[in-house]
Amino acid sequence: MKRLVRTKKDLGNSIREIRLERDMTQKELANLSGIWQETISKIETGTANPRMGTISLLLSALDLEFVLTPRSKSSLKDWEKIFTNGL
């Protein structure tokens, strides 16, 4: 399943999903990545606005990477997302 990441909310949701798929706790991911559990919590909930360096550590710990691609068309138009919270 393809995980698109455009916003910090997307990022947090994806990281949480993947972490859980692997039966990992935030503490375990924290140990692996060198990022604090508290920080991971804030990133996953979308509270934080993490730096690229922090994101890199998490990607590395989860053995993930970004692939930069042209945006796929969304089923929702941008103006519709204003109402559905999809953006």
Partner DNA sequence: AAAAATTATGATGCTTAAATCATAAAACTG
Partner DNA sequence: CAGTTTTATGATTTAAGCATCATAATTTTT
Interface with its own copies (CB under 8 A)? 2-8, 11, 14, 18, 49-53, 55-56, 59-60, 63-72
Rounded Cα gap, residues 56 and 72, in angstroms: 24
In the bound complex, what is the minimum distance in angstroms from residue 10's beta carbon to its own copies?
Answer: 8
Rounded Cα gap, residues 35 and 59, in angstroms: 11
Q: Which of its own copies, DNA, none does residue 38 bind (CB under 5 to 8 Å by kind)?
A: DNA
Residue type, 7: T
Q: Does residue 41 touch DNA according to CB under 7 A?
A: yes
Tokens representing residue 78 in the block: 């941008």
Nearest one of 42, 56, 46 to 11, comparing CA atoms: 46
Closer to DNA by Cβ: residue 53 or 70:
53
Geometric angle at alpha carbon 36, from 64 and 53, rounded to 5° = 50
Q: Does residue 9 touch DNA according to CB under 7 A?
A: no
Binding site for DNA (CB under 7 A): 20, 25-27, 34-39, 41-45, 47-51, 53-54
